[in-house]
Amino acid sequence: MSRKIRVLIAKPGLDGHDRGAKFVARALRDAGMEVIYTGLRQTPESIVNTAIQEDVDAVGMSILSGAHNTLLPKVVELLKEKGAEDILVFGGGVIPDSDIPFLKENGVQAVFTPGTPSEEFVNFIKENVRKDG
Amino acid sequence: MTIRDEFNKWREGVHGKSVSRFPERKKEFKTSYGETVEPVYCPEEGGSAYLETRGFPGCYPFTRGVQPTMYRGRFWTMRQYAGFGTAEESNKRYKYLLGAGQTGLSVAFDLPTQIGYDSDHPMSDGEVGKVGVAIDSLKDMEILFDGIPLGDVSTSMTINSTASVLLSMYIAVAEKQGFSADKLNGTIQNDILKEYIARGTYRFPPKPSMRLITDIFEFCASNVPKWNTISISGYHIREAGSNAVQEVAFTLADGIAYVEAAIKAGLDVDVFAPRLSFFFNAHNNLLEEVAKFRAARRLWSEVMKNRFKAANPKSQMLRFHTQTAGCTLTAQQPDNNIVRVAIQTLAATLGGTQSLHTNSRDEALALPTEESVRIALRTQQIVAHESGIADTIDPLAGSYFVEALTDSIYAKARKYIERIDELGGMVEAIEKGFVQQEIQDSAYHYQVAVEKGEEVVVGVNKFQMKEEPPTNLLKVDRSIQVSQIAKINDVKSSRDNDAVIRKLAEIKAAAQGSDNLMPKILEAVKVYATLGEIAGTMQEVFGEHKESVVL
Amino acid sequence: MDNKLKFDFRDLAKLITKIENDRLGAEDVLKNIYKENSETVVIGITGPPGAGKSSLTDRIIKEYRGLGKTVGIVAVDPSSPFTGGAILGDRIRMGDHATDPGVFIRSMGSRGSLGGLAPATIDILNLMKSSGFDVLIVETVGVGQSEIDVMSIADTVLLVLVPGMGDDVQALKAGIMEIADIFVINKADKDGVERLVAEINMIINLNRHRLEWEPPVVKTVATENTGIKDVMEKISDRDIWLKNYGTNVKADRLSSQFKQMALDRIGGNILAILEERGIFQNWTLEFSAGRSNPYKALKELDEKLKIEWSDK
């Protein structure tokens, strides 16, 4: 049975630069996925609730303000709290390489910085989403 | 009359008068082999078409520049946008920059400040002090400008939805330093429309936001006359992925919307229009960018003269600040960015900018370090003092290519403005998502072209190499949020809380009615009402904007 | 989660996914939990893109939450016909409810479901109805047949229009205008409102003779919360009307709903059998060879079915 991959693309925090997030959303749609786009200023709580209600396979978040070390691990933690740790979490934006190990230790499965070809994140999602149901 | 006659007339009249009042930087400008460099060069033939579409520096339609002497009189203002962490740290950086020869301040605020949340608001978590300085109350503003005499510097503040509050705080600090508001020089960005389109730090819906802007226009015209009350910004429209024509068209369309709103509010166009300023992006495509700036100047002067019947030449001048393009910086091989910024510096200055911020090489990675900021400033200084481009005005005029692009950008931007008029104006076009859609499509197509290698980005999709992760990046400490919250608690326990409640109630009443909000806000900041309290009070009346996303 | 609700949101969300991906499998679950809940109010909201449907939905959710009612929303956006992908952005306008335990929002791509949009949406709404929501809202864009089919399951259909559409209203007249129980003119602070009202009234007048319920016209500016109380009042009027005079409407809807489900099922099954036995492919070959044609084949099919049915 061909199952549609559903991905939530969100902008956590207050930063309004959504060029990257919108590009990712369009690229995922063009790769045949269903993308739930929630726009700017999402709190970790609202992102997690949305991910659960929409039963997405992955959550992608873009941050350019430097708040990534606070917000990304928070989302992972809340997903776990709600028993939804099977949802894939990835991040993007202006994130220094030196922060990536910290984020990965905290459950962010991948970080895509500017210049990443879309093929790379599309394949990452296809290969890593849960295979059941 | 021939062009030569007109030139002579200009040389004697407009230019001559200006030089006699403000002498040029040098008695004489010369080439390396001793030839005198003229202030401006122009064609010998061509007649009226040239005069109508190009003219002379400081004269309508200002295609060749807004001042008669341009950089021969004075270089552009070198203004580096800075601010991070606490007011104390930013204050130190400002003093460093002023000491390094910078000629104006440019304040970056953190996102909670830009949107009007105090540092202790849940939405502020993780954002405090990150992309700029955190300001919660007048207390922070006093620290930010400690030891910097506000009557002697010009300060640009990147602040939009909460511009009314931050400007009030600036005035209040200046008054405490002994400078009255009429002595103050500077700019607030105050351009809310592009926030809805591209930058995202909106708070209130368009209608009340436009009212706040016209309130500021009116208040400043009589109280802070030297202040630039708005910086109509194409910079972020370009960063969001638009092309050069869209940058010009949408920025000027925003400008038209503000002028219309101010006229509708009963203001005289020739009273507020001279205080309008613009803010553009400088990209890598050097010659196209120069043409862009020239086309924008011509188009704006025509709009002001013909559409709004502005008679004061100052109302017809498009004066602008430029920032080099952040989106062209790459995280890969970051030192390459120094070269990109140098090209963009040339684009801005050959295009006749009034002030310039040059980005630092490491900004695709993090906030810039002091060393990177210095190189960026030095880039401007080298172009100004060593390249010779500042010795004559509008040096690329007459290039077949540049002139052709100037005409085509002018014509295409005009078409866009006509289309926006058909849609019912810029506010309407934004609400319909037209503008966002156009930008979005350009951005997407560019990105696809990069992925296919049709557009080359050096170090990203060609000439890549393995590199060590960069070190030495500036990091903002998370403890700032904690100390900032402590400061708010301090302020709240030491101020006159009854006065705050009274002043906030007055703001609310003014927001519900039609009185100018500025005097009320100024009184509230003086009794140390916090930014979040003031913005929150206005939100009770105005509501909160929700974006209309177009994908 | 609100304690009136029977399911955990995560379980509910997963069941919806199952319906979207594997309807037959989901039926086994649905048949055990289905509960006709006549107390649930089902509201359909439709209209052209950009009319402000999500803003209106957002306001309506707020009103119901103010009354303490739980609300479930299914928001349908079009999928790309080329890739099957979709960008579902209706939640942007409903962001305030993301953390409200009494609100459940689900976005759907119009082609994301097997066997068509309407059957899957019916299943999802039935599931949500059975989970005990007080109010269900289904939001669709546009005016296609499948959107009209979706709307056929709502008690009350709000058709959202905006001024300045010009001749578009005329184009909408066929089909979509007839399913409207309440006309909402959103962005009513714009020019052209009166003209739009006049056009709508004309259409209502033309159809008056065959309408039991005369659709009211309400003006709103959803982003400024203007006119929302009027909308709520009309929805409640409609509700009272349905309770008093609308037993037929409800029964009709149940029966047409089931008819659709049955048709979908029987048709699908028969086709499957025909394909399995190679009959379908054989017919197609016969057509191209000129030995038979679709009408002859239909006749044959008719005969076959009659025999099969009478056997049982």
DSSP letters spanning B19-63? HHHS--SSS--B-TTSPBPPSB---SS-THHHHHHT--TTSTT-T
The interface residues of chain B toward chain A in range 196-215, judged by CB-CB distance below 8 A, are: 198-201
Estimate to the nearest angstrom the gap between the alpha carbon of C245 and the chain centroid.
Answer: 22
- Residues of A numbered 67-106 whose beta carbons fall under 8 angstroms of chain B's beta carbons: which are they? 67, 69-71, 94, 96-98
**Chain C residues closer than 8 Å to B548 by CB:** 92
Say which DSSP state B187 is in.
Answer: E
Q: What is the pLDDT of residues B428-455, one digit of tens each?
A: 899 888 999 999 999 999 999 999 999 9
Question: Is residue C223 within 8 angstroms of chain B, CB to CB?
Answer: yes
Whole-angstrom Cα distance, residue B352 to residue B336?
Answer: 25
Query: Among residues B369, B353, B350, which one has the least CA distance to residue B361?
Result: B369
Domain boundaries, chain C: 9-246, 261-311
Q: How far is Cα B168 from Cα B529, in angstroms, rounded to an integer? A: 12
* CATH top-level class of C9-246: alpha beta
**Contact by Cβ (8 Å): B302, B417:** no
Q: Does C92 touch chain B (CB under 8 A)?
A: yes
**Spatial contact of B364 and B336, defined as CB atoms under 8 Å apart:** no
Listed by start position, the domains of chain B span 3-53, 189-452
Retrieve residue B158's tokens. Answer: 């990147």
Determine the Cα–Cα distance for residues A130 and A107; give it in Å rounded to an integer: 15
pLDDT at B325: 97
Q: Which residue on chain C is closest to A55 by alpha carbon?
A: C13
Phi-psi region of B34 (alpha: psi -120 to 50; beta: other; left: phi over 0): left
* Cβ–Cβ under 8 Å, residues B134 and B113: yes
Q: What ipTM was estimated for this complex?
A: 0.93
| Separation CA C53–CA C159 (nearest Å) | 9
Structure tokens at B74: 């004075």
Q: What is the pLDDT of residue C1?
A: 47
Kindly indicate the confidence band of residue B546, based on its pLDDT and cuts at 50, 70 and 90: confident
- Helix, strand, coil shares, percent, chain B, to 5: 55, 10, 40
What contacts B303, CB < 8 A, 6 or more positions away? Answer: B252, B255, B256, B417
Mean pLDDT of B474-491: 88
CA nearest B338: which of B348, B351, B329, B349? B329
In chain C, which stretches have pLDDT less than 70?
1-4, 37, 112-116, 143-144, 165-176, 210, 309-312
Residue in the block written with tokens 């599309």: A122
- Quick check: B273 and B310 in contact, CB under 8 A? yes
- Which residues 468-487 on chain B approach chain A with CB closer than 8 angstroms? 469-471, 473, 476, 478
How many angstroms away from the CA of A97 is the closest CA of chain C?
30
What are the structure tokens assigned to C276, written together? 């399995």
C36 Cβ contact partners less than 8 Å away, ≥ 6 residues apart: C129, C254
Q: Is A110 left (phi over 0), alpha (psi -120 to 50) or beta?
A: beta
Tens digits of residue pLDDT in B231-246: 999 999 999 999 999 9
Q: How confident is the model at residue B147 (pLDDT cuts 50, 70, 90)?
A: very high
Q: Could you give the CA distance from residue C191 to residue B459 in angstroms, rounded to a whole number? A: 52
Enumerate residues 243 to 272 of chain C having a beta carbon within 8 A of any beta carbon in chain B: none
pLDDT at B180 over 90: yes
Q: How many CB pairs under 8 A join A and C?
A: 93
Chain B CB contacts of C55 below 8 Å: 546
Cβ of residue A66 closer than 8 Å to a chain B Cβ: yes
How far is residue B102's CA from residue B122's CA, in Å, rounded to a whole number? 37
Structure tokens at B148: 């910097």
The verdict on C97 touching B (C-beta cutoff 8 Å) is: no
Predicted local distance difference test score (pLDDT) of residue C273? 86
* Sequence spans of domains, chain A: 6-127
Residue B521, pLDDT above cutoff 80: yes
Mark the ranges of chain A whose per-residue pLDDT is less than 70: 1-2, 132-133
- Nearest CB partner across the interface for B551, out of C89, C190, C225: C89
Taking the CA of residue B444 and the nearest CA in chain A, the distance in Å comes to 6
- The answer to whether C61 and C102 are in contact (CB under 8 A) is no
Residue of A nearest to C105 (CA): A53
pLDDT recorded at residue A132: 60
- Extract the runs of DSSP E, i.e. beta strands, from chain A: 6-10, 34-37, 58-63, 88-93, 110-112
Mutation target vs C (from A29, A57, A79; most C CBs, 10 A cutoff): A29
What single-letter DSSP state applies at residue A40? S
* Closest by Cβ to A33, choosing from C85, C92, C95: C85
On the question of pLDDT at B352 being above 60, the answer is: yes
Contact list in C for residue B432 (CB cut-off 8 A) is: 50
Separation between Cα atoms, residue C140 and residue C111, nearest integer Å: 13
Measure Cα distances from A86 to A57, A90, C1 in Å: 8, 13, 21
DSSP letter for each residue of B259-296:
HHHHHHTT--HHHHGGGEEEEEEE-S-HHHHHHHHHHH
One CATH from 3.30.70.260, 1.10.443.10, 3.40.50.280, 1.10.1040.50 for A6-127 = 3.40.50.280
Contact B443 A22 (CB under 8 A): yes
The pLDDT of residue A133: 46
Q: Quick check: helix, strand or coil at residue B387?
A: coil
Please name the chains neighbouring B, where neighbouring means 3+ C-beta pairs under 8 angstroms.
A, C
Peptide bond into B61 cis (omega under 30): yes
* Exposure letters A98-125 (e unless 16+ CB within 10 A, then b): ebbeebeeeebebbbbbebbbeebbebb
**Architecture of the domain defined by B189-452:** Alpha-Beta Barrel (3.20)
Q: Which chains have 3+ CB pairs within 8 A of A?
A: B, C
* Chain C CB within 8 Å of residue B543 CB: yes
